[in-house]
């Protein structure tokens, strides 16, 4: 561990303890081996004057839903210290009641819910309190000699606490152990199998004490040979179809579409080849709270994905039956991560953010399990303890309340061709806004910068090159797991020429991009679409199909051929539940082919103003890329779930088409 404290930065917050608390919390959050995605807690005690001019002692504790890496002052919940300390004196209190009373004791009802460990933070009689789930600390306590190792590392001034379920029971346990303690002689609290606390009235000392003690734990691991991790090159990379087939089996078990991401780094592959990986992961997670994210154990696949997933489901049901209590409702029986021997590890979630969180958790899990084995054997909390956290009354309460409305396309994967600008870009952004993971293909390499992150993938791709398309689909499958929605939009509009004036190159280029390019894309995507969830293809045609004009034979003919391709595809793919529909836009002027100069010249040609030209349709309405994107959203959603082979104009109404 290295201290990230900067005196100049800290000085900016010297007069605001909550802002200073946020600053030091971010220092902790920047180190993934200390805290992972919402894990860990920090707090500061401060006096504030209430509405009646009276001083009031408050605990500002990290609020639910905030990450230490990015937390701001508003991420801390202000709770009355008096109430928290009185709650600690109660002999019994359900966690549901504890959460309710903590919320009632807040001085700002719009602040986030206080951490379930707020009472613990209140008990510790120091201004600044740090709590992390350090990989090193948790690893050395997840071993047969965990308590002995912890005493050796942290010395006589550490309070070592045997594992207790988080929540009020743990807070009460700390209260009992420290009620008569001499806090001046207590340097740290180590919760075995859980994490570590440091504290001080000085923010810098509290933070750097955490860095110092975790460093001691790291050095101890190294002295025992517990460092690094197995590494290996992949035996092979899963094919696109393998990824889609596995995703299909998992999604059916989950009962909804989900995302599946491959990690085939050398560490992930090395772990997948570890001969005891199955036995060790079967023992449990790094910290009990990880079970909420990753279930008690991963799925190991051997090739028959349906059979493998069903076996996992059956084992999970037995686990539930072994430990269930009255009132428990079983959660879904789908795994959250997969070990694929020789290929790597995969993360599973319904959102791109969820996939990233799980990937990060299992990255640390793989290392900690290997370190623990080198320390004498991986020995986390019992299966019953894991179950108690996974089926915690607070988690069960969330099921009864429900998760609220979800984006329409959450968990689905879309591919959009020609998506770097214009209609394609608008469609890609609309699909993303509705929760879909979106791969955007375009010849323009800028697409990679435009669409990057957890939820999007920009791929430089030429639809006239079959290999380029296959590679793009493969990249999509490795990052998201498959394809549910295909928007074939890439196209070209050649210069207006009469038939006898068109060169063979101009003709073949138009046909190659506007027709054959879509055929190549369909051909590559169809095997994955057959494994998709509510699979749908939208072909972007043109008004020129039903109403062609002179001087556009290459464009009109290629788009007409594309429309016919879509009709045949609708016939061929209907038995697999894949819908294929076509839209025919016209006069969408906010795209790259329509410059202001071109629009002005066309308007002049018709003797119209620019505004009149843009609304030269029956509805007198301008058609934008967003209008087209909105139509596409409707067509890939439930409103068109029973429609295939349709052709829908989006042109404001054209008398020739009608």
Between helices 240-254 and 517-529, what is the axis angle to 10°?
50
Secondary structure tally for the chain: helices H, strands E: 26, 18
Closest CA to 136 of 31, 197, 198, 220: 220
User: Which pair of tokens denotes residue 351?
Assistant: 């959102």
- Report the Cα 449 to chain-centroid distance in Å: 19
Contact at 8 Å (CB) between 622 and 519? no
Runs of H (alpha helix) within 224-273: 240-254, 266-273
User: Which pair of tokens denotes residue 224?
Assistant: 């025992």
Active site residues: 555
Contact at 8 Å (CB) between 141 and 150? yes
Contact at 8 Å (CB) between 127 and 156? no
Runs of H (alpha helix) within 530-620: 553-573, 596-605, 610-614
3-state secondary structure 279-345: HHHCCCCCCHHHHHHHCCCCEECCCCHHHHHHHHHHHHHHHHHHHCCCCCCCCCCCCCEEEECCCEE
Pairing of strands 413-417, 485-488: parallel
d(CA 311, CA 186): 49
Residue 371 φ/ψ region, left for φ over 0, alpha for ψ in the -120 to 50 degree band, beta for the rest: alpha
Other beta carbons within 10 angstroms of residue 110's beta carbon come to 6
Residues with Cβ within 8 Å of 319's Cβ and at least 6 positions away in sequence, in order, are: 296, 383, 387
Residue 645 φ/ψ region, left for φ over 0, alpha for ψ in the -120 to 50 degree band, beta for the rest: left
What torsion do the CA atoms of 165, 171, 176, 177 make, to the nearest 10 degrees? 80
d(CA 623, CA 307): 50
Contact at 8 Å (CB) between 1 and 214? yes
Pairing of strands 437-442, 456-460: parallel
d(CA 33, CA 2): 12
d(CA 36, CA 67): 8
User: Which pair of tokens denotes residue 588?
Assistant: 């969408």
Closest CA to 425 of 399, 407, 444: 444
Nearest-Å Rg of the Cα atoms of the chain is 30
440 backbone dihedrals φ, ψ, rounded to 5°: -115, 120
User: Which pair of tokens denotes residue 330?
Assistant: 């079983």
């Amino acid at each position: 561990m290295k201290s990230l404290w900067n005196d100049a930065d800290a000085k900016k917050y010297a007069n605001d303890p909550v802002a200073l608390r946020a600053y030091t919390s971010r220092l902790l959050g920047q180190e993934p081996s200390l805290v992972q995605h919402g894990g860990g807690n920090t707090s500061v005690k401060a006096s504030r004057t209430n509405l009646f001019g009276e001083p009031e002692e408050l605990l500002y504790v990290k609020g639910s839903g905030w990450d230490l890496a990015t937390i701001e002052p508003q991420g801390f919940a202000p709770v009355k210290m008096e109430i928290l300390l009185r709650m600690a004196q109660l002999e019994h209190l359900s966690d549901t009641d504890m959460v309710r009373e903590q919320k009632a004791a807040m001085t700002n009802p719009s602040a986030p819910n206080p951490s379930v460990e707020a009472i613990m933070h209140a008990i510790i009689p120091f201004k600044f309190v740090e709590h992390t789930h350090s990989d090193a600390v948790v690893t050395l306590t997840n071993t047969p000699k965990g308590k002995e190792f912890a005493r050796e590392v942290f010395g006589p001034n550490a309070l070592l606490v045997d594992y207790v379920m988080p929540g009020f029971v743990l807070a009460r346990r700390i209260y009992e152990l420290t009620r008569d303690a001499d806090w001046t002689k207590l340097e740290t609290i180590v919760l075995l199998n859980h994490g570590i606390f440091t504290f001080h009235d000085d923010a810098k000392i509290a933070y750097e004490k955490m860095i110092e003690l975790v460093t001691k734990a790291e050095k101890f691991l190294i002295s025992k040979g517990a460092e690094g991790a197995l590494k290996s090159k992949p035996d092979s990379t899963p094919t696109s179809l393998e990824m889609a087939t596995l995703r299909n089996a998992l999604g059916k078990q989950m009962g909804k579409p989900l995302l599946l991401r491959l990690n085939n780094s050398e560490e992930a592959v090395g772990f997948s080849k570890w001969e005891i990986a199955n036995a060790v992961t079967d023992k449990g997670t790094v910290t009990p709270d990880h079970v909420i994210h990753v279930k008690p154990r991963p799925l190991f696949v051997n090739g028959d994905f349906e059979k493998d997933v069903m076996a996992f489901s059956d084992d999970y049901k037995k686990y539930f039956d072994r430990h269930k209590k009255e009132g428990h409702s079983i959660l879904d029986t789908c795994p959250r991560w997969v070990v694929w021997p020789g290929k790597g590890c995969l993360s599973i979630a319904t959102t791109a953010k969820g996939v990233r969180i799980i990937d990060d958790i299992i990255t640390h899990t793989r290392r900690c399990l290997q370190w623990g084995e080198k320390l004498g054997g991986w020995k986390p909390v019992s299966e019953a303890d894991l179950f108690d956290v996974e089926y915690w009354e607070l988690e069960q309460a969330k099921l009864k309340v429900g998760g609220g409305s979800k984006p329409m396309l959450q968990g689905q994967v879309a591919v959009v061709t020609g998506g770097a600008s214009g209609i394609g870009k608008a469609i890609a952004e609309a699909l993303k806004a509705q929760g879909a993971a979106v791969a955007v293909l375009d010849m323009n390499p800028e697409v990679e910068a435009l669409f990057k992150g957890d939820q999007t993938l920009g791929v430089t791709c030429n639809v006239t090159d079959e290999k380029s398309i296959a590679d793009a689909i493969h990249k999509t499958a490795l990052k998201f797991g498959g394809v549910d929605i295909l928007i074939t939009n890439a196209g070209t509009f050649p210069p207006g020429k009469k038939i006898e004036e068109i060169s063979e190159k101009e003709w073949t280029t138009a046909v190659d991009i506007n027709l054959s390019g879509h055929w190549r894309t369909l051909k590559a995507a169809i095997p994955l679409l057959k494994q998709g969830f509510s699979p749908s293809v939208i072909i972007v045609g043109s008004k020129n199909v039903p109403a062609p004009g002179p001087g556009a034979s290459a464009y009109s003919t290629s788009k007409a051929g594309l429309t016919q391709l879509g009709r045949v595809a609708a016939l061929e793919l209907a038995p697999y539940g894949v819908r294929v529909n076509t839209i025919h836009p016209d006069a969408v002027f906010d795209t790259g082919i329509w410059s202001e100069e071109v629009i002005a010249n066309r308007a002049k040609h018709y003797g119209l103003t620019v505004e009149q030209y843009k609304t030269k349709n029956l509805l007198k309405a301008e058609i934008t890329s967003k209008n087209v994107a909105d139509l596409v959203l409707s067509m890939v959603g439930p409103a068109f779930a029973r429609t295939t082979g349709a052709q829908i104009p989006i042109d404001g109404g054209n008398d020739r088409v009608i």
